[in-house]
Amino acid sequence: MTISPSQPIRVMLVDDHAMVRRGLGAFLKVFDDLQLTGEAASGEAAIRLCAEVRPDVILMDMVMPDMDGAAATHLIRQQFPQVQVIALTSFKEGDLVKNALEAGAIGYLLKDVSADELAQAIRAAHAGRATLSPEAAQALVETTNQPPVPGLDLTERELEVLALMVEGLSNTQIAGRLTVSSSTIKSHVSNILSKLGVSSRTEAVTLALRNRIIP
């Protein structure tokens, strides 16, 4: 326990599992400086409840049906910028961590965090300080260091040409389909190979299929 401040930190819980909310509610009662101010079972309910109870900190599950935690966090932070959100989830995938932080979460913790660590994270969030679990930090670093997905810099016309290459059409056939000159298609194909970092049409087609570059 800690010495209770003049005003306890008001905490709201958002999780679609009642047992998780019950456990977190019991945890909050242990600390004199933390007060449970509301519970929500979905992202939509969280936004409505936030307007009613005006918590200081929200413990937000990330994986929920209909509206996920990142979407709910984004909307809450837009409407109530004074409210801090800590992502509290069982998942540590880098994309989830990245999405949560980009949505405005100030922390990302796993549900196996200890009571004292969670309490410290809530206090830190209330003071405007971020807290990331070591697993979340590692996942974020690994995601950030991944090479960019190939094909993102292809123009709309280059994507059209690549789609026809995947169909097996030659430059002349592609030119006829798109009603442009063969030299124009040759230039597009050259740009496609360069942007994809490959040296042949076959490699380009293989890469396009493997990475689902073509819708």
What does pTM read for this prediction? 0.67
pLDDT of residue 188: 96
Q: Measuring CA to CA, which residue among 65, 17, 19 is closest to residue 44?
A: 65
Looking at residue 147, its pLDDT comes to 65
The predicted structure's pLDDT at residue 1: 46
Domain ranges of the chain: 9-144, 156-210
| Tokens describing residue 162 | 């690549």
Report the side by side order of strands in the sheet with 34-40: 34-40, 9-14, 57-60, 84-89, 107-110, 131-132
Residue 7's identity, in one-letter code, is Q
pLDDT digits (tens, 9 = 90+) for 8-63: 999 999 999 999 999 999 999 999 999 999 999 999 999 999 999 999 999 999 99
Kindly report the number of other CB atoms within 10 A of residue 76's CB atom: 27
Cβ atoms 76, 106 nearer than 8 A: no
What string of pLDDT tens digits covers the 215 residues of the chain?
444 457 999 999 999 999 999 999 999 999 999 999 999 999 999 999 999 999 999 999 999 988 999 999 999 999 999 999 999 999 988 889 999 999 999 999 999 999 999 999 999 999 999 999 999 999 888 877 766 667 888 999 999 999 999 999 999 999 999 999 999 999 999 999 999 989 999 999 999 998 888 86
Q: The CATH number of 156-210 is which of 1.20.1560.10, 1.20.1250.10, 1.10.10.10, 3.40.50.2300? A: 1.10.10.10
Q: What is the pLDDT of residue 89?
A: 93
What is the predicted pLDDT for the residue at 109?
96
What would the CATH number be for the domain defined by 9-144? 3.40.50.2300
Cα 160 to Cα 74, 166, 201, distances in angstroms: 35, 10, 14
Rounded to whole angstroms, the Cα distance separating 89 from 109 reads 7
What pLDDT score was predicted for residue 190?
95
